[in-house]
Structure 1
C-alpha cells in the first residue's frame, strides 16, 4: 500500500506553523470551519466517550476535545493529553484548573505512542490525525493502545469522493480559507494556508474508510458540508 501522510519533511513544516499560530488557533479554526468545529466535536464525543472512560486525546493541542468531554459528557474520565508540541501542552494546566478529573501530559507523535497495549477506552483525534507522518502507522498504534471494543473518534476535514464536491472544498481551502483566516486574526492567521497542503495529502473519504477497516472491526462514517467535514468512529 502506498504511503499516506505528510512525510517527515512536510510534517516538520506543519508543526512549525502550528507552534507559531498558538495564540490565534481557536479564533481562526472557528472562522474557517464556518463556526461548526465545536458542533462536530460534540456530536462525535457524545457517541464515543462515556463516564468512567480512560481517554487518550491524541494531537490534543491544549485540550479543546477533552474540555467538551468534561462539559458535555462527564468529569468522571481520566485524560491523557498527547501532542508533539510541548508549548501546546503547557497551556493545559490553566485551562483545566477548575475541573475535578485526573489528567496526564505527554509529548510525542502518532506513529510511536508511548503507552501499553489495551490501555484506553477511547482515542480522540480532533483536527489532528490528518497531520500524521504516516497514517497507516498511526492507525496501527491507536488500535494497539485501545482496549477491546474501544473507540477511535476522528473529527476533521473530509475529502469528498464526488469530483464536484471535492473541487468546491479544495477551492475553498486554497483561496477562501486565507481570506477567512486574515479577517479573523490579521497577518497571524495567514500561516493557516498550510492546511491546504495537508488536505492534498489526506485520503478521500472512501479511502479513509477502507484504510480504517483494515484495522478496526466497524467504522461509522458521518459526512458534513458536502463531505468536506467528517465525524468518524472506528471500533476495535
Structure 2
C-alpha cells in the first residue's frame, strides 16, 4: 500500500498511525500530488480516494495520473461528498454545511476559515453522471456510481481498459 499526500502534517499523522500499528513493511507514505505521481505506470491493482478528489488542483489531470499508474483492469474507487436530491434533505444539508459546520469548525479548531471552504468545494465538484463522464473521458470503463447516506456521499467506480 502506498499513500501520497501534499500535506506534511497529514503524512506525519499517517506515519504515526502506521508505526503504532507496526505496519511499516506494508504501508509506505510519500509526499506528492495526484497530478504528478512519483511512480512508474501500470503498477497498481487499485486506487482509492476518499474525500480528496474535490481538492485535486486539476481534476482531469489527476484522474489521468491515477489511470496511468493502474494496471490494465485496475480499479478506481472515489468517495466524495454530494448533495441529496430530496428537496427537504438538500435544504437541511445546505443549512448544516453552509451555516452550522463553519461555525463549529471555527469553534473547535480555532481557525477563522476552518471548514468554510467545504460547501464551495462540494458545490463545485461534478456529481453523478457528470463525474462518471469525466472518468470515462479519462480512460475508465464500466464506470458506475451509487449515492450513499441519502445522497450526502457518492461512491464512483471504474476500471482501466484492458
- Check conservation: 1:81, 1:106, Cα contact below 8 A: yes
- Alpha-carbon distance between aligned partners in 1 of 2:11 and 2:50, rounded to the nearest angstrom: 15
- Alpha-carbon distance between aligned partners in 1 of 2:35 and 2:8, rounded to the nearest angstrom: 17
Structure 1 or 2: larger strand share?
Answer: 2
Residues 133-157 of structure 1, C-alpha deviations (whole Å, 9 max, x = no match) = 1111111110110011111111120
Structure 1: segments with no counterpart, 5+ residues: 1-78
TM-align CA RMSD: 2.3
1:120 corresponds to 2:44 = yes
SS at match of 1:102: coil
- 1:94 to partner: Cα distance: 2.1
Alignment of 1:77-226 (within 5 A): 79-97=1-19, 98-100=21-23, 101-159=25-83, 162=85, 164=87, 168-181=92-105, 185=108, 187-188=110-111, 191-214=114-137, 215-226=139-150
> When the two structures are superposed, what TM-score results if normalisation uses the length of structure 2?
0.82
SS at match of 1:94: helix
Residues 80-126 of structure 1, C-alpha deviations (whole Å, 9 max, x = no match) = 11001122112223211223442222111111111111011111101
Structure 1 or 2: larger helix share?
Answer: 1
- Alpha-carbon distance between aligned partners in 1 of 2:61 and 2:67, rounded to the nearest angstrom: 10
> When the two structures are superposed, what TM-score results if normalisation uses the length of structure 1?
0.59
- Alpha-carbon distance between aligned partners in 2 of 1:189 and 1:152, rounded to the nearest angstrom: 35
